[in-house]
Amino acid sequence: MAQVLASSSDGILIVDRAGRVLTANAALQRMTALAETDFIGCASDSLPWNIQHSDGSPKPVAKQPIARTLASGSSLTGQAMCFQHPDSTIVYVMVDAVPLTDQTGHVDGAVMTVYDVTEQKALESRLAQLALHDALTGLPNRRHFETRAEQALANARHNGTTVSILYIDLDGFKPINDQLGHAAGDRVLIEIARRLIESVGDAGVVARMGGDEFAILLVGPRASDLTARIEQRITASCSAPHRIDGHTVHVTPSMGIGTLSDPDDRLGDVLHRADAAMYEAKRARRTQRRRCTDVISKNNYWNLFGLHSD
């Protein structure tokens, strides 16, 4: 029996009918960061461990598996909780507790088996992170953004706050991918994400919608006024040059704003307005660029003859 307890990778705690600890194996000592002397002979309801619910809130002694099993005489399975070590390390566990009975059927003690699920918990958290965040930039992805935006719109219909969505597309990004490669493009996107977060601060939620498109959610009584200021910051920040492997590259943000203008508006309506405004800004910039190019070309033509255009 002792060899089985010592070799088990699961924590095992055995108590008598009064709740005094008879056995606490090495695996349980590791999970709780306690020594054997901290367990043996101690009452289970006064052990010097920090047991919490999985969300980090304290777990009262009366609700702990051993106490419940001793009191009810019934088995408990799949109880999720965690131990917090003195150094703040958290060990997540699943617990089963089974009553021990004597020949007359009366409860004579209990056995608690503890399974360390910390790695599984970390994997679940990582998968949840990947499901809601962009793998490259770490920003919320489209799915997460739309969920947050839907919640903001629902709240706005009840409390009258303003919801604005700023949609952003990067001009000049495709040539970076084509000429310097996708790794260079990824570095630019990561840096743009950082600059957007810096420009927005705590005022809104920045998300990557896909490719070189980003969106910002702003909520509040003066969200539309705030959007104009943030737009200026983004223009200045994101238009600054990037140094990639000895090359200086530039991208320019084209932006469009969509605002909740009617209580019956849906997220698709606001996103459509923001997207349309963004493409209008992009078209305006291209038109302006063409006009500038035409003027430069015309002046160069006349300069060939030592003349100047009107």
Q: Say yes or no: 162 and 287 in one domain.
A: yes
Q: Say yes or no: 171 and 105 in one domain.
A: no
Per-residue pLDDT tens for 205-214? 999 999 999 9
Among all residues, which ones are annotated catalytic?
A: 212
Instruction: Report residue 109: phi and psi, to 5°.
Output: 160, -165
User: With contact defined as beta carbons under 8 Å apart, do 206 and 254 qualify?
Assistant: no
Per-residue pLDDT tens for 232-291? 999 999 999 999 888 999 999 999 998 887 778 889 998 999 999 998 988 887 655 454
Q: Say yes or no: 183 and 203 in one domain.
A: yes
pLDDT value of position 130 = 86
Domain's final residue, options 122, 155, 181: 122
Q: Count how many domains the chain has.
A: 2
pLDDT value of position 1 = 66
Q: Say yes or no: 148 and 116 in one domain.
A: no
Residue numbers of the chain with a pLDDT score lower than 70: 1-2, 4, 221-224, 286-310
Q: Say yes or no: 111 and 172 in one domain.
A: no
Q: Say yes or no: 7 and 27 in one domain.
A: yes
Tell me which residue range forms the domain holding 70: 2-122
pLDDT value of position 262 = 77
pLDDT value of position 146 = 94
Q: Say yes or no: 160 and 286 in one domain.
A: yes
Q: Residue 168: which of 274, 289, 249, 268 has the closest Cα? A: 274
User: With contact defined as beta carbons under 8 Å apart, do 113 and 25 qualify?
Assistant: no
pLDDT value of position 223 = 62
CATH number at residue 232: 3.30.70.270
Angle (deg, nearest 10), helices 142-159 and 267-303: 120
pLDDT value of position 50 = 93
pLDDT value of position 222 = 65
Q: If DSSP states are collapsed to H, E and C, what string results for the chain?
A: CHHHHHHCCCEEEEEECCCEEEEECHHHHHHHCCCHHHHCCCEHHHCCCCEECCCCCECCHHHCHHHHHHHHCCCEEEEEEEEECCCCCEEEEEEEEEEEECCCCCEEEEEEEEEECHHHHHHHHHHHHHHHECCCCCCECHHHHHHHHHHHHHHHHHHCCEEEEEEEEEECHHHHHHHHCHHHHHHHHHHHHHHHHHHHHHHEEEEEEECCEEEEEEEECCHHHHHHHHHHHHHHHHCCCEEECCEEECCEEEEEEEECCCCCCCHHHHHHHHHHHHHHHHHHHHHHHHHHHHHHHHHHHHHCCCCCCC
Contacts for 32 with CB less than 8 Å, ≥ 6 apart: 11, 49, 83, 85, 91
**CA distance linking residue 123 with residue 263, whole number of Å:** 41
**Strands 252-259, 162-171: parallel, antiparallel or unpaired by DSSP?**
antiparallel
The model's pTM is: 0.66
**CA distance linking residue 55 with residue 163, whole number of Å:** 31
User: With contact defined as beta carbons under 8 Å apart, do 122 and 103 qualify?
Assistant: no
Q: Say yes or no: 147 and 106 in one domain.
A: no
262 in any annotated domain: yes
**Among residues of the chain, what percentage have pLDDT more than 90?**
67
Q: What mean pLDDT is reported for the chain?
A: 87
Q: Say yes or no: 149 and 284 in one domain.
A: yes
pLDDT value of position 128 = 86
User: With contact defined as beta carbons under 8 Å apart, do 215 and 166 qualify?
Assistant: yes
pLDDT value of position 303 = 45
